[in-house]
A and B are shown apart, each in its own frame.
Chain A
Amino acid sequence: MFSRFFSRVGLLATPFLAMIMVGCSKADLTVRQSTLDPKGPVAQAQYDVFMATVWLVVVLFVLVGGLLVFAVIKFRSRPGDENKPAIVEDGHGNPLVEIGLITASIGALVIIAIPTLSAIWYDDDVPAEAVPTSKLSAWYPRVEGTRENYAKTVEGQVLEIDAIGKQWWFRFEYPQLGLTNDAKHSVPNEFVIPKGVAIRINLRSEDVIHSFWIPKIAGKVDLVPGRKNHMWIQADQVGHYYGQCAEFCGDSHAYMLFRVEVVEPAEFAKWVQRQKADAAPVAAGTKADQGKTLFAAKSCVMCHNIGGHYGAGAFAPDLTHVASRKSLAGAWLDNRNYDAQRALEQKTGNTEASVEVDPATLKANFKKWIGSSGVSTGPDGKPTKDVKPGNRMHYYKMFNVAGLNETNQKFTDDELDALAEYLLTLK
């Protein structure tokens, strides 16, 4: 009976083990948000500690698990046992064995405690030796006449980026470079950093708790309202990286993604300059111009800023350069051609490679996103599904803003098209 049971367990376990083997070979360790493919010193430090715990655990697993299996097989009851005395003689425990095992456990833990402690302090803030590598003045846009004076005040400082969490997107500001919300130059949801430079991220939240996580660059730190958290990051390889909010933050938590583009330092200077430029004027009488009017008429202007066109909004993502970004709607909608991107990833063998924005995809995304309000109706007459349920763009009940109401937010297909055409001009 009992050996039959064992053979059954064996029969069950064999395909299972085979599946694990096949599975491991299928488990890709370089996927977009892999924690096992570090591309910067912070993620690397975390990965190294993790691997220390893995090896320790593997050793313990083999030892303890092996003993357990051995004991269960060796000490199973056998035919004839029922004739033996019922009470198995035993010593009720052995203090030497106990103390030995406790000491060994403590020793094993010390092995991981030491790298843990050193990594905790290393990950906490930008290391002193990393500071001189940042040359802020090089990136400060030349259009500002005050560049030389400013350079003196920030030279030698660490580049700081403020990451502000909101339901359900991130706003990024570069206060030392003049890219802030107050200056109408904030960077929504897709930020850019120079390669090989240590950067301090100041983490703030304007509503609930979020968490900032770019697995390939650094582990997460929370954005807690009313609390000033920070972390530091550095990316040693150029590319397009994927991040995601990791703290449950309400209805659309799953849609709160973000991106970071790592570029060469010289490229970074150009990018900063572009960010500070206003949007190009729209030719009168075009469809885009019609969209520009709609942007005000439909109350978009109350929350969104478009440098050079509309300057009132400070609450919602800055749209001055919206058409240059590779993602939309908290990075849930990807503005690149999906097939081209997959093909490139497969060709290069990494997920950091990225194709450029595809205007057709971008336009479709604009229409999908703006038209997805709970008050719009699809061809079947039913309300269309929100791209991001509960998002503030259509959730007029949240803030008693005059002009923001159900009727105002209805779009005809033509209006939607005009609005999308307008937004496409905002490179």
Chain B
Amino acid sequence: MSHDSHHAPVACKTELAPERSDLGLIRPDRATGWTDWLTTVDHKKIGILYGAFAMFFFLVGGVEALAIRTQLARPDNDFITARMYNQLFTMHGTTMIFLGVMPLSAAFFNFLVPLQIGARDVAFPRLNAFSLWTFVFGAFVLNASWLFEFAHLAGWFNSFEWHKALVYTDFAPANGWFSYAPLSGTFGQNGQALRFTGVGTDFWIIGIQILGVASLAASFNFICTIINMRAKGMTMMRLPVFTWMTLVTAVLIILAFPAITVALIELMFDRAFGANFFNPSSGGQPILWQHLFWIFGHPEVYILVLPAMGIVSEVLPTFTGKSLFGYPIIVFSGAVIGFLGFAVWSHHMFTTGLGPVPTAAFSLLTMAIAVPTGVKIFNWLGTIWGGRIRFTPPMVLALGFIWMFMCGGFSGVMHSSAPADSQQQDSYFVIAHFHYVLLGGVLLGLMAGLYFWFPKIFGRMPNATIAYVASGMVILGFNLAFGPMHYLGLAGMPRRTHTYHAGNGWETWNLVATIGAYVLGLGVLLAFANLFWTAFRGKKCSNDPWDGRTLEWSLPSPVPEYNFAQAPVIGARDAYFEHKHGTKRIGAENDGGDAGVHMPSQSWMPLLASSGFLLAGFGMPMMAMGIPHAGWIVIAGLGVLFLGIWLWALEGPGGYMLKTPVNQGSPAPTEAAAR
């Protein structure tokens, strides 16, 4: 198959005749509108889609949280049932972690990493699309359990034989995001596989499994991109810190997700096929699940927090006018956190009776991880010190991040001491701790990132006043909601309990926490609404409104689809800032005159392959429900997956050349200048 027609560069892709794959299928190359978004392989569009889905699921998780807080507002409340509460906290945790924070981080990875390293796309653009759609379908499978739950509550299933035979009728998962076996698994002997929970758990297992595929594929992609696609002169120690943290996060995902993948497969085999990995009555080991889960689960915490740390490490230097204090140590401590993150998983299991020696070891290692984390805070402080702080919405959110993360870190140090933790474990003190880290920390960090890069993504500036009001509400509401939980935990209120009696002394602070949660919820909604408005109607702004330091600010906003008209050559860390204000640090490669930029072809195949997961994801829980012939849906789903991958492989290289405007205000293209 020849691609002669593409050798002449064109100004717009729609000028070309449709391209065909090696099998003769038309590729959606020239498409616009919906088809363009569904088949895109452009890292910026994929990033925007990731961000949009993530923000949607943030709001879903937020609504779940508010339902939880409403139920707990007063003692002996019956706003929702015990089971519904359990389903809500399970889905709240799962949604926020896997469908909120991780994809929002992925949105930043996608949009920024190629721009920050001076590349034109990620290493594998179609794999990138595959990651996106696999995430979307995994999220859909997970949340479809709610549709089944509501159908069940409405009585729509009552006339079916398979429904009458069910012992447990929780259709949305009620097993917690940690899903401890044997509650999530089985009991009984001789392969009976009796269960403690209903098909909600099966939805959860397959949903997380699918999301894991998405995360793994994306991580391989980003590691390859960062290692191989850097512009000339962009050495590893000149990488922006956000890109560095992306690399560390991707490596963590690659190393951590296999553990949960194995654990989920074992649990699935227990439930579906009567295996006995975690079944205590047949000699299985429930504690094995906890080890496998937390050796994934603890690095997961750093998977969530490192990207936010990266964002803050970009925002602070920009608004203090100083370079990052101790760049090598910040990078190194990020890597050390990632490494040590694999050595502290058992601090989630201090109460499981590990024995004194392992408890002591994990206690000390957990204290040790406070050191590189402290280093980051000290270095951010060092960055502020002696600078000229310009207050902008992203800067205020970044400072909020440091403050809240610091508080969360302090309660973390309290947990690291195992004897103290035996009183705090599974109490509201823990909820306070990790919400300070994950909400006060990560969410504020991600919001700082959104307000920081939104002008780059859409070329429009979010309204600053609304942003300040929203940030104030988020910070105030957050402290009001989670500050009192420190007390509630120390006053003995356990987590995951849907109600409590009057007389335990927990009434006042639960009410305060609920009020705080609503303020927080409104703040997040306002912040997101501001961004949504900005994306379509906001005030246009310049290409470099913040006086940015890294390469993405040298590009027009919104960024053209080919990113860099000429491949840049980099001469320093923070090259663009120095280039603007001091020595010329950015050159350009001489890449052959009018040949144009080589653009990859779009493709339906990642979407097709991912949709196989959707079918299989519905099939597994339906099989567990006892719906006749549901197993065939699983097999059909896997068939679609393989068909998609096969057609993908036979698509051929594709691609076309795009003309770029010459010298779009970019500096003189001499390689020598960058040296």
A, B co-complexed: yes
A residues in contact (CB < 8 Å) with B: 1-2, 5, 8-9, 12, 16, 20, 23, 26-29, 31-36, 43, 45-47, 49-50, 52-54, 56-57, 60-61, 64-65, 67-68, 71-72, 75-78, 81, 84-88, 90, 92-94, 97-98, 101-102, 105-106, 109, 112-113, 115-117, 119-124, 167, 203, 207-209, 211, 213, 215, 218-222, 224-227, 229-230, 242, 244-255, 332, 334, 338, 341-342, 385, 389-390, 397-398
Q: In B496-516, which residues have CB < 8 Å from any A CB?
A: 496-501, 503-506, 508-509, 512
| A43-B414 Cα distance, complex, nearest whole Å | 16
20 more A-B residue pairs beyond the given contacts A50-B423, A101-B378, A222-B351, with a C-beta to C-beta distance below 8 A: A2-B390, A12-B476, A32-B492, A35-B423, A35-B424, A49-B419, A64-B378, A68-B402, A75-B387, A90-B386, A90-B387, A93-B328, A98-B326, A98-B379, A116-B417, A116-B418, A208-B182, A247-B426, A248-B426, A254-B500
Q: Which residue of A lies closest to B418 (CB)?
A: A120
Q: Which residues of A contact B498 (CB under 8 A)?
A: 253-254
A123 touches B500 (CB 8 A): no
Q: Which residues of A contact B381 (CB under 8 A)?
A: 64, 67-68, 71
| A55-B86 Cα distance, complex, nearest whole Å | 36
Cβ of A46 to closest chain B Cβ, rounded Å: 5
Which of A12, A46, A220 contacts B472 (CB under 8 A)?
A: A12
B180 touches A209 (CB 8 A): yes
A248 touches B180 (CB 8 A): yes
A23 touches B387 (CB 8 A): no
A87 touches B351 (CB 8 A): no
A246 touches B494 (CB 8 A): yes
| A398-B491 Cα distance, complex, nearest whole Å | 36
| A87-B577 Cα distance, complex, nearest whole Å | 8
Number of interface residues of B (CB under 8 A): 114
B residues in contact (CB < 8 Å) with A: 78, 81-83, 86, 167, 174, 176, 180, 182-183, 187, 196-197, 280-281, 283-287, 320-329, 351-353, 355-356, 359-360, 363-364, 367-368, 370-371, 374-375, 377-379, 381-382, 384-391, 396, 399, 402-403, 406-407, 410-411, 413-414, 416-427, 468, 472, 476, 479-480, 483-484, 487, 490-501, 503-506, 508-509, 512, 547, 577-578, 580-582
Q: Which residue of B lies closest to A47 (CB)?
A: B423
Contact A86-B321, Cβ < 8 Å, known A71-B384, A389-B82: yes
| A176-B131 Cα distance, complex, nearest whole Å | 60
Q: Which residue of B lies closest to A97 (CB)?
A: B382
Cβ of A391 to closest chain B Cβ, rounded Å: 11
Contact A75-B386, Cβ < 8 Å, known A120-B363, A397-B167: yes
Number of A-B contacts (CB under 8 A): 329
Which of B196, B323, B505 contacts A28 (CB under 8 A)?
A: B505
Which of B167, B406, B472, B505 contacts A31 (CB under 8 A)?
A: B505
Which of A53, A67, A218, A219 contacts B414 (CB under 8 A)?
A: A53
| A92-B480 Cα distance, complex, nearest whole Å | 38
B472 touches A385 (CB 8 A): no
Contact A227-B287, Cβ < 8 Å, known A35-B492, A46-B419: yes
Which of A43, A93, A113 contacts B327 (CB under 8 A)?
A: A93
Cβ of A386 to closest chain B Cβ, rounded Å: 9
Contact A112-B367, Cβ < 8 Å, known A36-B490, A71-B384: yes
Q: Which residues of A contact B490 (CB under 8 A)?
A: 29, 34-36
| A105-B417 Cα distance, complex, nearest whole Å | 16
B494 touches A105 (CB 8 A): no
| A29-B492 Cα distance, complex, nearest whole Å | 10
Q: Which residues of B contact A85 (CB under 8 A)?
A: 581
Q: 20 pairs across A/B with beta carbons < 8 Å? A: A23-B509, A31-B506, A32-B505, A46-B422, A47-B423, A50-B419, A68-B403, A71-B384, A93-B327, A98-B329, A113-B364, A117-B363, A119-B419, A219-B423, A220-B422, A227-B287, A244-B497, A246-B427, A253-B498, A389-B81
Which of A32, A105, A341, A389 contacts B504 (CB under 8 A)?
A: A32
A75 touches B167 (CB 8 A): no
B580 touches A106 (CB 8 A): no
B183 touches A120 (CB 8 A): no
Which of B382, B390, B424, B499 contacts A77 (CB under 8 A)?
A: B390
Contact A49-B503, Cβ < 8 Å, known A101-B374, A105-B374: no
Contact A87-B321, Cβ < 8 Å, known A5-B468, A53-B420, A248-B495: yes
Q: Which residues of A contact B328 (CB under 8 A)?
A: 93
Q: Which residues of A contact B499 (CB under 8 A)?
A: 254
Q: Which residue of A lies closest to B472 (CB)?
A: A12
